[in-house]
Structure 1
Amino acid sequence: MSSTAQAPATSEANARAQIELHKELAPRYAYRYSFEFSRLFQQDWHAEMIGHVPPGSKRILDLGCGTGFFLAELEQHHPGSVGLDISHAMLKVSDQYVPDARLVTGDAEKLPFKPGVFDVVFCKGSLHHTRDHVAFLTHCRKALRPGGVLIMSEPCNDNPIIRLARAILYRKSQHFDVGDQGFTKKGIVSLCEQAGFKVTKVKKYGILAYTFAGFPDHLGFLRFIPGNALITRGFIALDRLICATPGLSIFGFHVVVVGEPGPSAAEAEVTS
């Protein structure tokens, strides 16, 4: 049987695995965001992403909204945003933080929306949970209106040390799926282009603040240090400086990508 024929079964198996994994992770996510210093980091991360929303955007989708912490901030800036996640357990947590948001339980690889509905699609750490990345991004493109924008933040493995650390963590920890690997900057741009996006911005995000403030459920010693909120603010400022410096940005743990929809590579070949 060809790999193409096997892909749907693989996607369905992955969807089931992700639902079970995130059912167990939902309480951990709530714990993660219960600390002021962790929320400070997340708020800065969210501000970085929301800052790329074009003026006048109204119909916005948070794809893979999880427990809703990003969606809650998105709702403050753009009321009426829609959150979709495959995990109903995650959405039950989300409902506590964004009670008025429109929440949809659904598979990001089979979006239950009409084409061209949204002005903006956000993907904060959603792509790496899927297995057919180009298909996922193609669905995102089709969900956007002409002139819409995809704003995405994904784990970046440009640094071989980070790549190795992630590989070990994903294999050793029960809180990760071994298939949920990160991307290189060049690789994720290529995936976007294959799916028909014109990438307009790529930048690295998160180093010290990401490591020490982003995940107190995994690396939590900062919660025992007095002044951890002030320390986190310092980490955020230093991270921005490092990520903006050529040669040093390789230390960034995430890559933020902004893209506009166009024809996919296959569609462009047909019309050429």
Structure 2
Amino acid sequence: MGSTLAIAGGELLSSQRWYWAVLTCWIVFLNTASTGEILVKGYRRLLGTVFGVVAGILLAALVGRHTWTAFFLVLVLIFAMFYTAPLSYTLMSFFVTAMLGLLYTLLHTYSWEVLVLRVQETALGAACGVVAAALVLPVKTDRRTNELLVTVLKRLAEVTEAAVGQLSGGPAGDLLDKARELDQALGDLRSATQPLTHPVTLLRNRRTNARYVVALLETCAYHARALAATAELLPTHPSIAADPGCAGRRGARSATS
């Protein structure tokens, strides 16, 4: 549905570069699992594209006919694009669009109308993605975050119980894999709460609560990993010995709570 809308609208804007809208529509769906995540990703891509267009116009005006300078800057922007991809989607979109402005300068096809068209196609593609996500099998952010919260708590319990069991003299288990699963679940929850913790959100109370819960779980995960690391040292470290009372104290605390 999103691609169909993007193709139709992109053709109306430009019969040559309609694929920019389709590409944006597909990209906003990648690694997202709720309507809120798609909305945030589309907003970030559009914001990075707008600032990238401004930077591309300025760089093209400054470089002018200096071909080798433009070529060097293109390489720098490509490096910056890949470097910032895991850090900030907005920065990645910015460097991609700025690089296109210089690339068109090298190919002698530069015009500010083309860069403005990119903003229009990007906005259209992001809007088509959000509309499709809201109308076709919508997944609310609350539902997604609740599911991931349960998963994080299960992974946290698994790591803690396995580590305490090993420290109590039980059989050795693969704590490293359990800790990695906990980190993965926590990372998924952190990504899913981005629509709630975004600076422009209007629901400030929910933003505060989401940040508090994620921070609390990160603290718990830190101590769980530390406990697992201590349990991993048990067979080889001379100053660490198994204590059968750990399991009993854990049971007493569970019964009390």
TM-score (structure 1 length as normaliser): 0.22
The structure that is strand-richer by fraction is: 1
Q: Bigger radius of gyration, 1 or 2?
A: 2
TM-score (structure 2 length as normaliser): 0.23
The structure that is helix-richer by fraction is: 2
